[in-house]
Amino acid sequence: MQRLCAEGTEFSASAEKNIFAAAHHLERLLAYLPNERESLLSMRQKLKLDQRLNMRAQFHTLNVDGRPPRDVVAALSICGDQLSYRLLGQWLLAAGKPGPALPLLHFSLLGRRCNQPPVEEFLIARALIDLKKSDEAKRYYQAAVEWLEKGQRPLWACDLLAAGFVGPWQALSNLAGPVGDPRYNEFDWESWYECEVFRARCENKMRR
pLDDT score for 47: 78
Among 72, 80, 76, 133, which residue's Cα sits nearest to residue 102?
133
Is the CB of residue 185 less than 8 Å from the CB of residue 31?
A: yes
Is the CB of residue 93 less than 8 Å from the CB of residue 61?
A: no
Confidence check: pLDDT of 6 > 90: no
103-118 pLDDT tens trace = 999 999 999 988 899 9
50-101 pLDDT tens trace = 888 888 988 998 766 556 566 767 777 777 788 889 999 999 998 899 999 9
15 sits in which H/E element = helix 2-32
d(CA 32, CA 178): 8
Is the CB of residue 57 less than 8 Å from the CB of residue 64?
A: yes
pLDDT score for 186: 81
The residue-averaged pLDDT of 175-181 equals 56
Long-range contacts of 1-5 (CB under 8 A, 24+ apart): none
Can you give the C-alpha Rg of the chain in angstroms?
Answer: 20
CB environment 29-59: b (16+ within 10 A), e (fewer): ebbeeeeebeebbbbbbeebeebbbbbbbbb
Confidence check: pLDDT of 144 > 50: yes
DSSP characters over 73-134: HHHHHHTT-HHHHHHHHHHHHHTT-HHHHHHHHHHHHHTS-TTS--HHHHHHHHHHHHTT-H
Q: What percent of the chain has pLDDT over 90?
A: 35
Grade residue 150 by pLDDT with cuts at 50, 70 and 90. confident
pLDDT score for 159: 45
Please give the backbone phi and psi of residue 33, each rounded to the nearest 5 degrees, phi first.
-125, 70
